[in-house]
Structure 1
Amino acid sequence: MNYCEICGTQHNYTIKNESHVFNFRGQKIGVERRVAFCNNCNSLIDVEELENETMAKVVQIYSEQYGMTSLEIKNVRKQFNLGIRPFAKLLNIGSASVSRYESGSLPQATHLEIYKRLKDHPHAILELLNTNKNLLTPRELQMVEKSLQAWSIPKQSFQTDEQIIESIYMHGEGTELTGYNDFSLDKFINMILYFTSNGVLKTKLMKLMWYSDFLFFKRQTISITGTTYVKYPYGPVPKDHDVALAHLQLMNAIEIDELTNDDGWIMMKVRASEPFDSTVFSEEELNTLAEVADFFREYGSIKISDYAHNEKGWSDTEEKQTISYIYAEELHEFVK
C-alpha cells in the first residue's frame, strides 16, 4: 500500500509499464519505466522505490551514450596506480565525489570532461600535477611523482589549458562560421567573466554569448570573439562548450557549482573567479555586452532558450551543426 494524494489515504496500487522521455543534462533519454496507479481512483501514486529505479535507468543510459561507466571511471585512476585521496587532489575534486563516481554515481559535467580527457590523453595527468601539486602533502607528492614517472614525456608535447581552448576555435578562422574574425581567447574568457560576475546558469550563459557575438556581427559584419557556435536542443552554444568550461575551471578563471531544482534536475551555475578586464574590448563591443545583459536580465534559462528557438539561425540549422553568422541578419531586434 502507498499514500494516494487524490484519495487522501493509503491504498493498494497496480504497477504498469510505460515509455517515457526525460530531459536529462540537455539530452533526451527514453526509458521503459514502472509506475504505480491507485486501485481506488486510478491516479498516479508516487512510489519512491520505482522513482529511484527509473532514475537509475536514466543515469545508466546517459552514462553509456554520453558519459563513462563506473568501471571506465575507476580504470582512469587505476592506470596511474594512485589511491583515491591523492588522485582526487590532482583533479581538485573531493575524494568523496571520486568514490561516488567509481561506485556508479554520475559525475557532474565538468568532472566528467576531466575524466574523458584523462581516458583519451592520460599524459594530461602531468598537467594536473603541475597545477594542483600544492594540494598534496609532501609525502603524497613524493608518492605521486614516483607513480607518474612512467607517464613523463617531453614538456613541449603538452598543451596548456589556454592552448586547448584555442585549438577548439582556431579552425575556420575568418569565415562566416567565426563571424569573419580570428578567435580571441582574451575576449572569449572576459565575455564569460562579464556575464558570470554574479553567477549565471550555464544554459543562459551560452545564449548570452551567442546573442552578443551575433548582434555585433549584425551591426558590424564581424563577431566579437570569433567563436564558433552550434545548435543544441536548448539553443545555440559555443562549440565544445563543456570542454572549454572545464579548462577555464582548471585555470581558476571560473567556478561551476551543481544546483538541484524543485523537480530534482541538476543545473550548472557558472561564477567568475577572476575580475573582468574591459580593456580587451572596444567601446562598441562593451555596449553590445551591456545591451544583451540588460535585455535578458529577467530571463531565466528556459525563457531565453525559448526566445532563441524563434531565431532563424537556430531553427534552420541541423542538430549539432555549426550556425552560420549569416543568420545574424535575421536576428530579432532588441526592443523591450
Structure 2
Amino acid sequence: MKNIMNTYIKETTTTFQINDTTIIVPGKRRFDATTNEPVFDYDLDNALLIEAGKKYRESIHFDGEKLIEFRKKHDLTQALFAKILGISRKTLISYEKNYAIPNNQNLKLIQSMIKDETLLEKMSTHFNAPLTYKEMEVIGNIRVEESMDEYSGFQAINEDILISLMLFFSDKGISQTRLQKAMFYSDFLNYKTTGTSLTGLYYRKFPFGPYSEALNKLTDDLIRLEKMTRKLDYLMVSQEKVNLDFLTEPQFEIVKKIKRYIQKNDAKAVSDDSHLHNGWIHTTDFEKISYEFAVDMLDDFLNCE
C-alpha cells in the first residue's frame, strides 16, 4: 500500500462480479491523493468483499446454514457429502462457514439437490465415494484398465496432458463450469478426429452439462500446489506457462478454437450450449457419456471461425 500520508478515504460504491452476477456495494475506500485512483487497503477492501459476498448469497437465497441443515437431514458426514459433490472437504467447510461462495457449477448442483432430493439418491448410488486424482494414481493399473473404453475415449489418463491443458485454458482466469466444458470439447473433438480422447477423462451428465469428478478434484490439487490460484472465489488462474508441443498442429488449432470460444462466452452460455449435444441429451442423469456421441455432435464447433 502507498504511504497513507498521500492518500485519503471517502465513501463510494464498488462493483463486484461474482458468478456472472453484478453486486454493487457502498462503503469506504482509500484513494491516492495525486491520481484519485483507488489504492489497496486491507481492512477497507476486505470489509467490502465480505459485504459483497453477503449480498450475493442473499440474492441467490443461499447460506451455509442451509447446506449444513441439508447435510445433517440426510445423515451425511462432511467427508461423504464433499465426495458426492465432487469437491474437497476443505471446500465444503468453506461453503458451510460462508468463507467462500460456490462457483456456478457447484452452486447449481447444490441448489438442484436441495430442491429435488431424489438427485442426492441418484448421485450417491452412482458414485458416493468418487476417487481423488491421487487415489487414481495409487491404483494406476486398475484405473488404466477401467478407462480403456468408450467412456474415456479409449485412452488412459495422461497426467501431463491433463494438467497442461488445464493451465493453458486458465491463463487468463476460468470458472470451473467453463473449464469443465473446455476439457470436454478438447477430449470429444480429439476423439472425433483421431479416435481417442486427449486426457482419458470420463464425463457424466450433470444438470449443468458434461462434468468430470476427477477434473474438479485435480483443480483443488493444482491450487494446493500453487500451479493455480483462485480469484474472487470462483475463477481459477494458471500460475505457470505451459508448452503444448505434445499436440499435433491440427490438435493445437482445435484447442485454440475452444479457448477462444470459452473466453468470449460466460458460464451460463457455455453450459446452455453443452445441453444441445446428443451426448448430454441421450444420456441418463449422472451416467457416463459415451465418446461415440462425438461422431455427429460437434461439426458446427469444428467449422466455426
TM-score (norm 1): 0.52
AA matched with 1:204: R
Maintained 8 Å contact 2:204/2:289: yes
AA matched with 1:62: L
Q: How many angstroms does 1:64 deviate by?
A: 4.5
Q: Which residue of 2 aligns with 1:163?
A: 134
Identical counterparts, % of pairs: 20
Q: Which residue of 2 aligns with 1:63?
A: 68
Structure 1 runs (4+) deviating above 4 angstroms are 51-54, 64-68, 100-103, 106-110
2:160 equivalent to 1:186? yes
AA matched with 1:105: N
For residues 63 and 321 of structure 1, do their structure 2 counterparts lie closer, same or farther at Cα, with a shift above 3 Å needed? farther
2:243 pairs, out of 277, 282, 289, with: 277
Q: Distance in 1 between matches of 2:230 and 2:65?
A: 23
Greater radius of gyration (CA): 1
Q: How many angstroms does 1:198 deviate by?
A: 0.9
Q: Aligned to 1:280, what secondary structure does the other structure show? A: coil
Q: Distance in 1 between matches of 2:272 and 2:254?
A: 21
Q: How many angstroms does 1:187 deviate by?
A: 0.5
Q: Distance in 1 between matches of 2:199 and 2:153?
A: 8
Q: How many angstroms does 1:173 deviate by?
A: 2.1
For residues 299 and 319 of structure 1, do their structure 2 counterparts lie closer, same or farther at Cα, with a shift above 3 Å needed? same
Q: Distance in 1 between matches of 2:139 and 2:206?
A: 17
For residues 205 and 102 of structure 1, do their structure 2 counterparts lie closer, same or farther at Cα, with a shift above 3 Å needed? closer
Paired positions, count: 207
For residues 218 and 101 of structure 1, do their structure 2 counterparts lie closer, same or farther at Cα, with a shift above 3 Å needed? closer
Q: Flag structure 1 segments of 5+ consecutive residues without an equivalent.
A: 1-24, 26-47, 74-90, 114-160, 260-267
Q: Distance in 2 between matches of 1:217 and 1:178?
A: 10
User: Over residues 227-278 of structure 1, what are the superposed CA-to-partner deviations in whole Å (9 max), with x where a residue is unaligned?
Assistant: 111111111122343322111211222112235xxxxxxxx11110111121
2:274 pairs, out of 308, 324, 329, with: 308
Maintained 8 Å contact 1:197/1:272: yes
2:188 equivalent to 1:214? yes
Q: Which residue of 2 aligns with 1:327?
A: 293
Maintained 8 Å contact 2:227/2:240: yes
Maintained 8 Å contact 2:178/2:262: no
Q: Distance in 1 between matches of 2:61 and 2:139?
A: 33
For residues 309 and 52 of structure 1, do their structure 2 counterparts lie closer, same or farther at Cα, with a shift above 3 Å needed? closer
Q: Distance in 1 between matches of 2:265 and 2:240?
A: 25
TM-score (norm 2): 0.57
Q: Distance in 1 between matches of 2:204 and 2:296?
A: 17
Q: How many angstroms does 1:185 deviate by?
A: 0.5
Maintained 8 Å contact 2:67/2:96: no
2:197 pairs, out of 201, 207, 223, with: 223
Maintained 8 Å contact 1:165/1:247: no
2:153 equivalent to 1:173? no
For residues 314 and 164 of structure 1, do their structure 2 counterparts lie closer, same or farther at Cα, with a shift above 3 Å needed? same
For residues 217 and 244 of structure 1, do their structure 2 counterparts lie closer, same or farther at Cα, with a shift above 3 Å needed? same
For residues 108 and 166 of structure 1, do their structure 2 counterparts lie closer, same or farther at Cα, with a shift above 3 Å needed? farther
Q: Flag structure 2 segments of 5+ consecutive residues without an equivalent.
A: 1-18, 20-53, 79-87, 107-131
State how 1:8-157 maps to structure 2 within 5 Å.
55=61, 58-65=63-70, 104-105=97-98, 107-108=100-101
Cα RMSD for the two superposed structures: 3.9
Q: Which residue of 2 aligns with 1:232?
A: 206
Maintained 8 Å contact 1:211/1:292: yes
Q: Aligned to 2:253, what secondary structure does the other structure show? A: helix
